[in-house]
Amino acid sequence: MKIRRALISFTLITLFYLLSLIWVDSKNQIFSGSSKILSILPTLISISLLSYFIRYFRWYWLLSRAGHKTGLFSGFLAYLAGFAFTATPGKLGELIRIRYLSSQGVPPFKVISAFVYERAFDLIVVLFLSALAISQSDIFFIALGFVVFLLIVLILVAFNPRWLTKLSAYFRLYRLKKLARICVTIRDGVSGCFIWITPLDIIVSASLGLLAWGCTAFSFVILLNYLGVFIPFISAMAIYPLAMLAGAASMLPGGVGSTEATIVVLLSMFSAPLATAALVAIGIRISTMWFAVLSGLCTLSVLEYFLHRTDAPVFQKHRD
């Protein structure tokens, strides 16, 4: 993946998002309260940054346990760069980290293993948070089905690597070498998750995941209270995680549109005004998903610059 591709994707998705906001504003005048969002945005972004550090510590822990100790600073840059492609189905674009971690001695399949393991725990943790108060919602059961389906597929592939081996052989038969290599890499990556199936790794991964996504859910509560939407704390903590799962189930890039619509629907159950609910949805998405993409793009630009200067400290292991 090249940074040009990231910029094009970011521009197209951003344009679509802005056009959608303009259309919604023409119906509900939601931008009239945008000044309120701007004043609370630094607080929300600070919480997002905290969640990134917590999630990175989990990532660093997993790689260290697998025998790959990266530099704290350079490793964080590589991790953050993945967020440039977070608005992709399943966040698969975040595997751009392979490009930057390989120079620190981390093989591609191990990056995929950490990514799959991380995603699995994120799904479980976010599902747990979403079930705190509104488990009777139809949206919750859709999200539950989505998570269970993905976990079952992951488990089946992990315990039956020969399926991907046969698929790789099939691609090679028809000289589709690139697809064959992808199958082998995915096979090795998923199988590599077994190294972290230990009580200690499970406890650490689940705890850090709960802390990181709990911060994000709490920032949603702060935004609700700031905009005058007062609902029970437990219910407020559950809304954004559930909306994220609904957005992921929609298979739209980054859940753009579907996540916001879910937030509006869930807040309407608590009699929140439509315009305010829409403003909440936009505010939390700017401070989480859009800020993550922007941070990733900025980091990606820095790493691409240093990538052509291999003697630069940012790409040298253990110097930071």
Domain range list for the chain: 3-11+43-86+93-315
> 67: which residues sit within 8 A by CB, 6+ positions away?
none
Single-letter code of the amino acid located at 231 = I
Query: Whole-angstrom Cα distance, residue 63 to residue 235?
Result: 35
41-60: average pLDDT? 96
Higher pLDDT, 188 or 224: 224
Note the helical H segments in 67-107: 72-81, 97-101
Instruction: Determine the pLDDT at residue 192.
Output: 85
Query: Whole-angstrom Cα distance, residue 276 to residue 257?
Result: 16
Q: Is 101 exposed, middle or buried (0-12, 13-18, 19+ CB in 10 A)?
A: buried
Contact call for residues 115 and 106 (beta carbons, < 8 A): no
DSSP 105: T
Instruction: Determine the pLDDT at residue 10.
Output: 63
Is the dihedral angle over the CA atoms 97, 199, 49, 8 positive or is it negative? positive
Contact call for residues 162 and 266 (beta carbons, < 8 A): no
Instruction: Determine the pLDDT at residue 17.
Output: 65
Higher pLDDT, 157 or 206: 206
**Token couple for 178:** 């690139």
Query: Whole-angstrom Cα distance, residue 215 to residue 173?
Result: 49
Please give the radius of gyration of the chain, using alpha carbons only, rounded to the nearest integer: 20
Query: Whole-angstrom Cα distance, residue 146 to residue 141?
Result: 9
- Given pLDDT bands bounded at 50, 70 and 90, which one contains residue 90? low
pLDDT digits (tens, 9 = 90+) for 126-185: 999 998 876 657 788 888 888 899 889 888 888 888 888 888 898 888 888 888 887 887
Note the helical H segments in 227-290: 233-249, 258-268, 274-285
87-95: average pLDDT? 74
Query: Whole-angstrom Cα distance, residue 26 to residue 56?
Result: 40
* Helix/strand/coil percentages in the chain, nearest 5: 85, 0, 15
Query: Whole-angstrom Cα distance, residue 236 to residue 229?
Result: 10
pLDDT digits (tens, 9 = 90+) for 71-87: 889 899 999 999 988 87
